[in-house]
Chain A
Amino acid sequence: MIILETRGLKYTYPDGTAAVQDLNIEIKKGKKVAFVGQNGSGKSTLFLLLNGTLKPAEGEVLFHGVPFKYDSKSLREIRKSVGIVFQNSDDQIFAPTVYQDVAFGPANLGYPKERVDVCVHHALEQVGLSRLKDKPPHHLSGGQKKRVAIAGIMAMEPEVIILDEPLSNLDPVGADEIIDLLNEFNQFGSTIIISTHDVDLAYRWSDYVYIMSNSKLIGQGTPAEVFKEQELLKKAGLRQPTTLEIYHEIERRGLAYGRNSPKTIPELVSTLKPLDLMWVDVPPRVREGDSLNIGVMYGEYATQSPYEAINATVLHIHPGGRAIVELKRKGIKAGGVLLYDTDSYSLEEVNQILKEGEFVFVGAMGKKSKTLAEQDGIHLDVTSGVIDKSILMALCGKRCLILTAGGMVDHALKRIKDYVDKSGIEFTVGVVNRENGCQWIEDADKNPEALKI
């Protein structure tokens, strides 16, 4: 059942800038919905529209299928049913004591004194603040103020609760408490809408996600669907949720079962594959703990790169020369990272490198390089955490090109070399435009093994 709906919603600020444009959303009853987007993407304005506080310039908002009317009686009904909790609790709490603030809403609904009292006590009990009801708000901590603000809305018993950035400025424990509280309200049937720029929260907590950017809706779906789309996230100025990112890296290494979207750490752990074990026939004198060279595998047996040299450790020897071994894979054709110095840049050259070098992953570091890439329409796969991501890609046998300039070239080179030294995993690294042309690619085509650092 759809509880809140907007059709072609548009709102413009008095100075002419559009805050919300052409917005069509349908919010189902009893769901946990998150609006994700950068600061200033129009989330807060949308919330004020959903609560009837602002009147749209075009389009309409529907509650239970009935369009909002903006006379004072209808507005009262809407505001009773759709409660909104502001980002800054100090903006919302205005009465001198906690009790009086929570009682403000129910009293305005014209309830008799006894009923107001019941509402307030119930709401304060739910948020666990009955003890503090006679305190003035300036004696409360940030988390407690937030809970008072939520209680003030809960006391009006709304069907939909909207929270603008509910976890901003809260410590981790305070944030967890608020989330537990929201889940509890949801269990009792309330529809909960939050706005956030915390992708981890939206991914983990919500049933349905709307992605907003520049006052427009650019994506929607279940968290698993939405956060899979890298392009969409990049457009919205967001990143992938941490759990999902870790999962993708593990999966790419063949250590986890594919096509999952784990939301919590336990879910992530349960996608892990057991160790690579295999039955093999071994020569007679091999003992447990010995190493065996099994040879080169390819095709579906090579999970990380096109060809893999496989060493095995013998774990257990069965009578009759059969043994259980643990496989250790080593990619033969490892990937590499190429740094392109944009101090002397030519689009032609970059295009040639991209074409000839089989690069699947391109990143840019530094504002200058990013601007250049944008100007010339070079597709960038990554613009933040470039070095780390390139190392990860190289480890999976992919080739990466990083566009960067000046001192950052040395910095990147040093980081990658450090990684190679520490981990003992070898892949190729090269710099173009610095020394003698495009050395790395020429060498790589002839003999991949010669390219260790």
Chain B
Amino acid sequence: MTNILDDYALMSPLRHRNNWLKLAIVFFGLLAGVSSTSPITPLFIALCMSFATVGLGNTPIKLYFKLLLAPMGFAVIGVLIIAFFSGSGPEMLAFELLGYPLSIRTDGFELALLVLSRSISGMCCLYFLALSTPMIELFAVLKASRLPESLIELSMLIYRYIFVFLDMAICIRYAQTVRLGYSNFKRSINSLGMLASTLFIRSWEQGDKLFLAMNSRCYDGKMTLFEVHRPVKASELLLTSAYFLSTLALFYFTKNISIV
């Protein structure tokens, strides 16, 4: 049953650490990465976050790289365009493609490198959050951030029933497949329509049953959320501060550095 990110997050040992600490680390990483003027700081952040996700969070390294690959593809395309079409200064590389002159200039290259490193650091930070903090931990955070109670309750119920309906949809799809419901395009469209309508009716019924189930346990219009108290340990605080300080130091010393 490990096919979505949430499942990996549930299994991660980092799940049981303080949520606020994790959020602070992520936000710090995002801000420092974006505001850095040299590509070195963001790369350092990406390295630290990747280590935390894979080394401390026990995420399979293969999966982690696969996950990075998808957004990386977009980033690389964007970066190539920046490198070729922006900037001034001396030419580093020039060639002709089908009669068009193409060249990379130092400025453009530096900018491209910075954009690439920033986007990598941002991705790594967000993956750290996604792979160490499952949705069920975030409900407490949502509550503490003073979102309306009913919104949180709804999101809790929705989260639970996503999986019930996912199972249901998989079962229906399977039942359709074994009876050749997806054998050609027209039938696939037809089957998909039936699947959607059945799911709608089932979710309607499920709503009735849910109300019954909640009522029979004395539901009085509010669901209490129990936050698990997880104090920040000294070692965690120490490691985080070391990370913050070294990032800030790196940030300061590489302020005016240029790679080329």
Residues of chain A whose beta carbon lies under 8 Å from any beta carbon of chain B: 48, 51, 53, 76, 79-80, 83-84, 86, 88, 90-97, 99-100, 103-105, 107-109, 113, 116-117, 134-139, 152-153, 156
A266 to chain B, nearest CB (A): 39
Given A79-B218, A100-B225, A136 and B10 contact (CB-CB distance below 8 Å): yes
Q: Which residues 136-186 of B sit at the A interface, judged by CB distance below 8 A?
A: 136, 139, 156-157, 159-161, 163-164, 167
How far does the alpha carbon of A113 sit from the alpha carbon of B218 in the complex, in Å?
17
B217 touches A79 (CB 8 A): yes
Knowing that A100-B156, A104-B214, A109-B218 are A-B contacts, what are 20 other residue pairs whose CB atoms are under 8 Å apart, sorted by A's residue number? Answer: A48-B212, A76-B220, A79-B215, A79-B216, A80-B218, A86-B212, A91-B206, A94-B160, A94-B214, A95-B156, A97-B136, A104-B223, A107-B226, A108-B224, A136-B136, A138-B1, A138-B160, A152-B217, A156-B217, A156-B218
Q: Contact mask B89-124 → A, CB, 8 Å, 1/0? A: 000000000000000000000000000000000000
A120 to chain B, nearest CB (A): 8
Within 8 A of A (CB), among B185-223: 206, 209-210, 212-220, 223
> Would B210 and A94 count as touching, CB distance under 8 A?
yes
Question: Can you name 14 A-B residue pairings with CB atoms under 8 Å?
Answer: A53-B212, A79-B216, A84-B216, A91-B212, A91-B213, A92-B213, A94-B157, A94-B213, A97-B136, A100-B225, A100-B226, A104-B214, A104-B224, A138-B160
The closest CB in chain A to the CB of B219 belongs to A108
A107 vs B221: C-alpha distance when bound (angstroms): 12
Residues of B within 8 A of A (CB): 1, 7, 10, 134-136, 139, 156-157, 159-161, 163-164, 167, 206, 209-210, 212-220, 223-226, 228
Given contacts A79-B218, A91-B213, contact A96 B10 (CB under 8 A): no
Residue from the set B157, B212, B216, B219 with the largest chain A CB neighbour count within 10 Å: B216
Is A103 in contact with B10, judged by CB distance below 8 angstroms? no
**A103-B226 CB under 8 A given contacts A94-B213, A109-B218, A139-B10:** yes
Q: Which residues of B contact A53 (CB under 8 A)?
A: 212, 215-216
- Distance in angstroms from A99 CB to nearest chain B CB is 7
Number of A-B contacts (CB under 8 A): 92
Bound-complex Cα distance A18 to B214 (A): 26
Supposing A113-B226, A136-B136 touch, asked if A104 and B217 sit within 8 A by C-beta, the answer is yes
CB distance from A315 to the nearest CB of B (A): 62
Q: Which of A53, A95, A139 has the most CB of B within 10 A?
A: A95
Contact residue among B7, B157, B226 (Cβ-Cβ distance under 8 Å from A116) = B226
What residues of A have a CB within 8 angstroms of the CB of B220 in the complex? 76, 108
Residues in B with CB closer than 8 Å to A107 are 223-224, 226
Kindly list chain B residues whose C-beta atoms are within 8 Å of the C-beta of A90.
Answer: 164
- Among B156, B219, B224, the one with the most A-chain Cβ atoms within 10 Å of its Cβ is B224
Query: CB < 8 Å: which of A51, A95, A97, A136 contacts B216?
Result: A51
**Helix, strand, loop or mixed for chain B's interface?**
helix
Residues of the A chain whose Cβ atoms lie less than 8 Å from the Cβ of B224: 103-104, 107-108, 116
- Cβ of A134: which chain B residues have Cβ within 8 Å of it? 136, 228
A140 — nearest CB in chain B belongs to which residue?
B1
Chain A residues whose C-beta falls within 8 Å of the C-beta of B135 in the assembled complex: 96
Nearest CB of chain B from residue A101's CB, rounded to whole Å: 9
> Closest CB-CB distance, B147 to chain A, in whole Å?
16
Do the beta carbons of B164 and A96 come within 8 Å of each other?
no
A108 contacts which of B161, B210, B218 (Cβ < 8 Å)? B218
Contact partner of A95 (CB less than 8 A), chosen from B134, B160, B228, is B160
User: Smallest Cβ distance from A377 to chain B, in angstroms?
Assistant: 43
Bound together, the chains give a CA A298 to CA B161 distance in angstroms of 71
Give the residues in chain B near A83, CB-CB below 8 Å: 216-217
CB-based contact A96/B218 at 8 Å: no
Q: Whole-angstrom distance between the alpha carbons of A136 and B210 in the complex?
A: 17
B164 contact set on A, CB distance < 8 A:
90, 138
Cα distance A113–B215 when bound, in Å? 21
State in angstroms the CA–CA spacing of A79 and B217 once bound together: 6
- Shortest Cβ gap from B160 to chain A (Å): 5
Most chain B CB within 10 A, of A48, A51, A84, A108, is at A108
In the docked arrangement, what's the CA distance between A100 and B212, Å?
18
State the Cβ distance, B120 to closest chain A Cβ, in Å.
31
Residues of B within 8 A of A105 (CB): 217-218
Residues of B within 8 A of A156 (CB): 217-218
Most B-side CB within 10 Å, residue of A103, A108, A138: A138
A94 touches B161 (CB 8 A): yes
Most buried by B among A94, A107, A137, A156: A94
Point out the residues of chain A lying under 8 angstroms from B217, CB to CB.
79, 83, 104-105, 108, 152-153, 156
Q: How far is the CB of B45 from chain A (nearest CB, A)?
A: 30
* B206 contacts across to A, CB distance below 8 A: 91
Contacts of B215 in A (CB 8 A): 53, 79
In the complex, chain A residues whose CB is within 8 Å of the CB of B219: 104, 108
Distance in Å: Cβ of B162 to nearest Cβ of chain A: 9
B12 shortest CB reach to chain A, Å: 12
User: Which B residues touch A152, using CB under 8 A?
Assistant: 217
Residues of chain B lying within 8 A (CB to CB) of residue A51:
216
Partner of B1, one of A92, A97, A139: A139
Q: Which residues of chain A have C-beta atoms less than 8 A from B210's C-beta? A: 91, 94
Contacts of B163 in A (CB 8 A): 136-138
Distance, CA A100 to CA B7, complexed state (A) = 18
